[in-house]
């Protein structure tokens, strides 16, 4: 997703992270894929890759679920050669109980920045 210049502040990125997490929790894989893409899709259809990776992640959850408190954060990178600008981390509880970490990466150079779903993992 292409970001505008006024979407790179902490509050805007937190709102975007909450949107991505809500789409994942609601299992709207097509909307999530269309809006954010998925860095780990490789040669798979993006929405299918997100769905399969979430299912794999949830299958690894222990029988006794850890009670992780949902939280969110934005971490900015120092200027670097890889053009990484920020990471947005959002922990959300799935309806089944496990908490998952949704990570989005903001990258780009100059005034053009993109945000992409980077990873989904258990907390």
**Using one digit for the tens of pLDDT, what is the confidence trace for 2-42?**
998 889 999 999 999 999 999 999 999 999 999 999 999 99
CA distance 50 to 60: 16
Tokens 């907390």 belong to which residue?
Answer: 123
Please report the pLDDT score of residue 80 as a whole number. Answer: 86
Give residue 109's pLDDT.
79
pLDDT in tens, 76-121: 999 888 999 999 999 998 888 888 999 999 999 777 899 999 999 9
What pLDDT score does 61 carry? 79
Decide the pairing of beta strands 113-122 and 2-3: antiparallel
């Amino acid at each position: 997703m292409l970001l505008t210049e006024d979407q790179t502040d902490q509050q805007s990125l937190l709102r975007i992270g909450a949107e991505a997490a809500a789409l994942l929790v609601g299992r709207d894989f097509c909307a999530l894929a269309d809006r954010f893409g998925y860095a780990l899709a490789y040669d798979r259809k993006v929405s299918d890759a997100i769905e399969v990776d979430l299912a794999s992640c949830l299958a690894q959850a222990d029988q006794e679920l850890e009670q992780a408190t949902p939280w969110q954060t934005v971490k900015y990178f120092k200027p670097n050669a890889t053009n990484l600008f920020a990471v947005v981390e959002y922990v959300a509880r799935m309806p089944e109980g496990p908490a998952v970490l949704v990570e989005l990466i903001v990258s780009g150079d100059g005034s053009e920045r993109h945000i992409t779903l980077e990873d989904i993992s258990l907390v």
